Amino acid sequence: MVLLHVKRGDESHFLFSTAVDAPLETLIQEIVHIYNARLKVDRICSEISELADHGVSLPPDMQGLTQEQLLELRLVDEWEEKCEPSGGAVLRTDEIGRRNGHAPNDKMKEVLMKTVEAAKAKISKKQLEANVCVTMETVTEALDQLRGAVTIVYPMGLPPHDPIRMEFENQEDLTGTQASLQVMAEDQCQLWWAAKELQRGRKLQDYIGKNEKTKLVVKIQKKGQGAPGREPLITEEQQKQMMLHQYRRQEELKKLNEAEDDSYLDSEWSDRQALKRQFQGLSNIKWGPR
């Protein structure tokens, strides 16, 4: 079993398990699917948080308009009554004007938020720190949990223009958004390891040998962006520990230097003969011409 620590740029994403004889074409496909699906879960979680606070999304032609503008243009949200949350709605106005302000009650909001936390935990980067591999089944399970929670709170479903429903139906339009820059097209993805592109059509063992007990840091990169930056020789945590060790050493040397300081010997109080000279009247005598 080969463990792949998948990164994009300097950002770590997840741990993936594969075989040393895995075809790179299939390997890249699996990694990209998981990478994009994790982004989808993250987007849906963000939107569900907004759903829990401010209700379903307004139609596109009503978003961002004030109440006076809506009345002037005679625009009415026909989905407002159709998409009533279970247990009744609570009025929480959306200041941005994206959602209708008819939010779920506190009990239903708790259902949504607990599910969001559980889904995020499945795809969290903490899984990587715990050496837990992420699979497509893991991400699919997170998506199913989110879909189930939304169905419980909104049994009649969400409006077709709501971004959550569009995400679940794979009809989301990310054009012009920051999210569109993060999504990776499968045919545009390259996999890099040790400053080498792992070419499609070959196998992983062509690059790393036949040792199954291997852990690699691989990076995904869009075509045309060139080779990603090399991994630093030491990690950020190791660098912090080295700096802390150096600081402690400097403090210890400083204390040792202070302990060895013998400048006090020039002080009057440290002169053993001072009391004797004082009784003999020989103190404060200055030698030199008058």
DSSP 73-106: HT---TTTTTTPPTT-EEE---TTSSB-SEEE-H
Q: Mean of the per-residue pLDDT values for the chain?
A: 86
The secondary structure of the chain in percent helix, strand, coil, rounded to multiples of 5, reads 45, 15, 40
Contacts of 196 (CB under 8 A, 6+ apart): 207
pLDDT of amino acid 47: 95
Q: Residue 213 has what DSSP assignment?
A: S
pTM, to two decimals: 0.76
Which span out of 103-112, 190-199, 271-280 was modeled with the highest average pLDDT?
Answer: 103-112
Which of 3-7, 33-37, 41-45, 245-249 shows the lowest mean pLDDT across its residues?
245-249
Which span out of 76-80, 140-144, 178-182 was modeled with the highest average pLDDT?
Answer: 140-144
Distance CA 163, CA 50 (A): 11
pLDDT of amino acid 280: 66
Listed by start position, the domains of the chain span 2-222, 236-279
pLDDT of amino acid 19: 92
Using left for φ > 0, alpha for ψ between -120 and 50, and beta otherwise, residue 218 falls in: beta
User: Does residue 276 register a pLDDT over 70?
Assistant: no
Distance CA 184, CA 180 (A): 9
User: Does residue 287 register a pLDDT over 80?
Assistant: no
User: Does residue 94 register a pLDDT over 70?
Assistant: yes
What pLDDT, in 10s, does the model give residues 124-135? 989 988 999 999
Mean pLDDT of 246-268: 71
The token duo for 129 is: 């720190």
What pLDDT, in 10s, does the model give residues 27-52? 999 999 999 999 999 999 999 999 99
% of the chain at pLDDT higher than 90 = 46
From residue 119, how far is each of 45, 163, 259 by CA, in Å? 8, 18, 58
Element (H, E) at 222: strand 214-222
CB 139 within 8 A of CB 122: yes
Distance CA 17, CA 27 (A): 10
